[in-house]
Structure 1
Amino acid sequence: MKLATLLCATALSLGAATAQNGALALDEAIDLLKAQNLEIKAATYDVQSARERASQAGGQHWGSLDFIQNISRSDDAGNVFGFKLTGREANFGDFGAAEFMANSAACQGGDLTACDALYTQPPEALNYPGDRNFFQSKLQYTLPLYVGGKISAYVEAAEGMERLKRLDRTKLLNEKIYETRKAYYDMRLLDEALSNLKTIYDNIGTLEAMTQSMIQEGYAKQTDLLEVQAKKSNVARSIHQMEANEKLLYHYLSFLLDQPVSTIALPDSDVPLPPLETADVIAANIDVQRAKTGLQIRESMQDVALSDYLPMVGFQADVQTAADSFEHYAADKGSYTVGVQLKWNLFAGGSDYAAYEEARIETLKTKTQIDLAKKGIALQVDKIHTEIKSLDYEIDALSKELALAKEIYTSYEARYREQLASMSDVVIKQSQQLEKVLALLEVKNKRTERVFALEKLANGVTQ
């Protein structure tokens, strides 16, 4: 709760900009991203699919009820007799009773061959029956009573996979939110830099007009004007590049939000550094959560491997009716079967032991990976904090240097007007001012990227 409150407060401060004159505010853009981004939609489908797989695994607890319809025709002696027996239609004639009685009468009349045939001659009716149809309708229910905890372990593993998919979706969502916020703050930095460049451009325009006037009065040379115009062209090129980058950012925002974006409400300030402790970052980090979920899945699979040592008990019940055609189905031809089976594998060549050992080793490996991930994240947090402190120092220094460069340029412009400095000197000072603007933009952009990198480690600021 402490981390959630902290991150929400940070999110509110970052998304404070509201839509003005139709401009899309950051918080509105994030809402659109969640609702419309196609990658997030695909990840949502993955979560739903994993949820259904978990439901499939849980359904095994309830067994299965099957309706089986057999339709056969055969002249095989065993099949034909079995068909009749299943349909409760077998009679002594099927055993060759007619042949037996004929031989019995002949035997009583003194025919010794007939006497011998009574018990040694295979009955023709039993061994060579005519072909017969068989229609059987069966309702069968099977239920696993005890399987050593295997089904429960599979259910836990499937639920773990669902949690992994949820974490994957959250990670993707955080990544897209990061990209959206980064675009907004990049746009703000570009706007700030463009404002400075346009001021420089306007100053050079003023200098150009002044130089032209001084040439007419004989106080400046044509080369001075060419130097000013070349510098003006250089600044115009930088402005054009930044405006092109603005257009690219708008194109990218349109892609992320899956709708056209032409204007946005810029954030009021640079992105602040959230006061996140290393322990909070580790606890919230999605990769650590994924690793912990993976450990739970490994432990479930270890339970699955252990269940191979235990017996399995199953229940089965069925009811059926059969005849030589559907029309001959009758209540008195029905039958039922109820039973319980115990199956216990006593020897499998050591494969069950090897499977259990493999699962146990993978569990130990996952635990080690979790510890490694935590230490790696702690290292990243320390590294990012150090980099941000260094960048903050650079920004402060460059801001002061830019302010000084502006004053120096203004001073040299005045000195040039009084012919106390050359146009080359003025252009050089103007170039130094431009360099400071671009350098400050680059360092601020690096700082923004590092702050967002810290937030990404902490599972974003919108959760």
Structure 2
Amino acid sequence: MKKILLLLVCQLLLFSYTIDFKTSLSKTIENNKGLKAKKLDVETSKLDLEEAKGYNYGNLVFNENISHTNNAGYVFGMKLASREATFGDFGFNEFDMTGATNPLPVAPKDLNYPDARTNYETKLTYKVPLFTGYKLQNAKKMAKLQILAKTAKYNYDEKALGLEVLKAYNGAVASKEFIKATKKAKEATSSFVNFANELFNEGLVTSIDVKQAKVYDMGVDAKMIEAKNRYDLALSYLKFLTSEENITNVGSFKNSTNNITLLETLTSTTHDNREDFSWMKYNTDTMRAKIDFDNADNYPMIGAQLEYGYNDDEVNNINSDKDYYLGAVGLSYTLFDGSITSSKKQKAKIKYNQTKHYFEYMKDGIKLEVEKNLLTLQTKQKILKQKIKAQNLSDEVLEQSQQMYKNHLINMSNLLMQQANQQKSSAETIMANYEKSLAAATLQISLGEKLK
């Protein structure tokens, strides 16, 4: 029997544990699928940069072309390409060497009706852009900026997720505190029922006191059920965030420490610490580079091509007598495109100005956000102090009311009213503590700091 009990205890310890905020945060960041998806955005931008760099190096292509034809032009060209053309291919076999007839009207059969030929063309072609109107340079610049932008966005989302974890974790702690407070209330109301029964049996009170105590006691039972349900729901959400199904309990409230100073001091470095601000800045710079990118078509495009290959009527055509090379430089300049390029450039300018306005709007909004969060925290701190004082006073009043009831100085209704006031004060203190912790964390996030 002892072994069975020991085994059960070991299983409970193995599959359940109490989690703290730090562990909740680390597990959420590690397992959150949304963050993993955003991290892939960063990797995508890195590949965009590699792609933009790759165009600078050009491309080397191997081709093996096999063709079979009796087309006179193609056959003659194939023979020339493989350096096999003879005077006979021109039709000189039908040329009257005596001069007795005019050779000009003669249609040489060997030239016009050649035998079908199979040609194997093997070649390596290298093409490289020499000048693209700065399009490639701006493409690389934009890709680099987007790497920085998406990295900043990832870091910001990670911090914002920390605030969501804090809400869930401290919400679970608050629910647990509600259960503790309700248990304490249950002990008190149960004692009221017992004491009222004793006084009723002694004929000192009427049955109405007993009934009132029992009704209130049942109400506390209902509140206990509600409190446990809220706790289970809070744990379920925490399990969802952390991807940890074995959580059965939480520790104490996570309270962020804020050094409250002047608003100007708080906001002096906030913009540098805010990743969402950096994200917007990098996006603004990207849109600025997009203007130059779209303007590239106003410049001439210059490229080079190198080619080396062989032509023959056999598969094994690697023969130095039949190889060839080609080197070329080309220039392409668009003289007119129906204002397409200028329209694209103008649209890019509009997008840049839009993004710039949003950026300036965010800059002003961050200061307002910090100010609002600071005032909220200061208010929540004051409220918490008052709620703690009110709870302590309600505890004293309830204790005195119990003594007064025992001494028949008040009735059960008055005692239960004081019990209700004490429960309300206790619940308000718990909520004030939760709201104060949330306000402190919100201010910390708005200052660009990370929850730990």
TM-score between the two structures when normalised by the length of structure 2: 0.89
Cα shift at 1:448: 2.9
Q: Which residue among 355, 374, 378 is the counterpart of 1:389?
A: 378
Q: Which residue among 37, 46, 53 is the counterpart of 1:42?
A: 37
Q: Which residue among 71, 80, 90 is the counterpart of 1:85?
A: 80
1:16 matched residue in structure 2: none
Cα shift at 1:92: 1.8
Change (3 A) 1:398 1:25: closer
| Structure 1 segment 229-378 matched on structure 2, within 5 A | 229-263=214-248, 266-267=251-252, 270-273=255-258, 275=260, 277-378=266-367
Contact 1:184–1:267 (Cα < 8 Å) also in 2: no
**What do residues 56-97 of structure 1 show as CA deviations (whole Å, max 9, x unaligned)?**
111111111111111112222222222222122222222211
Contact 1:185–1:270 (Cα < 8 Å) also in 2: no
What runs of 5+ residues in structure 2 fail to find an aligned partner? 1-15
Could you tell me how far apart the structure 2 residues matched to 1:385 and 1:329 are? 79
Is the aligned partner of 1:211 residue 2:196?
Answer: yes
**What do residues 207-253 of structure 1 show as CA deviations (whole Å, max 9, x unaligned)?**
11111111111112222122112222222322322222222222222
Contact 1:316–1:340 (Cα < 8 Å) also in 2: yes
**What do residues 295-325 of structure 1 show as CA deviations (whole Å, max 9, x unaligned)?**
1211221121232222222121110011122
2:406 matched residue in structure 1: 417
Of 362-371 and 246-255, the range deviating more from structure 2:
246-255
Change (3 A) 1:270 1:194: farther
**What do residues 16-36 of structure 1 show as CA deviations (whole Å, max 9, x unaligned)?**
xxxxx9633332333333333
Cα shift at 1:370: 0.6
Cα shift at 1:263: 4.2
Could you tell me how far apart the structure 2 residues matched to 1:444 and 1:25 are? 17
1:31 matched residue in structure 2: 26
Cα shift at 1:104: 4.3
Aligned sequence identity (%): 23
Contact 2:170–2:253 (Cα < 8 Å) also in 1: no
**What do residues 34-63 of structure 1 show as CA deviations (whole Å, max 9, x unaligned)?**
333333223223322321222111111111
1:222 matched residue in structure 2: 207
Matched position secondary structure for 2:257: coil
1:76 matched residue in structure 2: 71
Cα shift at 1:283: 2.6
Could you tell me how far apart the structure 1 residues matched to 2:400 and 2:254 are? 31
Q: Which residue among 124, 144, 163 is the counterpart of 1:139?
A: 124
Of 315-324 and 193-202, the range deviating more from structure 2:
193-202
Matched position secondary structure for 2:133: coil
TM-score between the two structures when normalised by the length of structure 1: 0.87
Cα shift at 1:264: 5.1
2:430 matched residue in structure 1: 441
Could you tell me how far apart the structure 1 residues matched to 2:107 and 2:145 are? 64
What runs of 5+ residues in structure 1 fail to find an aligned partner? 1-20, 109-113
Could you tell me how far apart the structure 1 residues matched to 2:104 and 2:254 are? 108
1:59 matched residue in structure 2: 54
Contact 2:153–2:276 (Cα < 8 Å) also in 1: no
Contact 2:130–2:302 (Cα < 8 Å) also in 1: yes
Could you tell me how far apart the structure 2 residues matched to 1:286 and 1:418 are? 65
**RMSD of Structure 2 on Structure 1 (CA):** 2.3
Could you tell me how far apart the structure 2 residues matched to 1:82 and 1:225 are? 116
2:167 matched residue in structure 1: 182
Contact 1:38–1:258 (Cα < 8 Å) also in 2: no
Change (3 A) 1:462 1:189: closer
Cα shift at 1:450: 2.7
Could you tell me how far apart the structure 1 residues matched to 2:32 and 2:321 are? 64
**What do residues 242-298 of structure 1 show as CA deviations (whole Å, max 9, x unaligned)?**
222222222222222222242455246644345481233333223221211111211
Contact 2:307–2:327 (Cα < 8 Å) also in 1: yes
Could you tell me how far apart the structure 2 residues matched to 1:238 and 1:272 are? 33
Of 45-54 and 207-216, the range deviating more from structure 2:
45-54
Alignment size in residue pairs: 433
1:3 matched residue in structure 2: none
Moved over 4 A (4+): none
Code of the residue aligned with 2:422 in structure 1: it is Q
Matched position secondary structure for 2:327: strand
Contact 1:187–1:266 (Cα < 8 Å) also in 2: no
Contact 1:392–1:447 (Cα < 8 Å) also in 2: yes
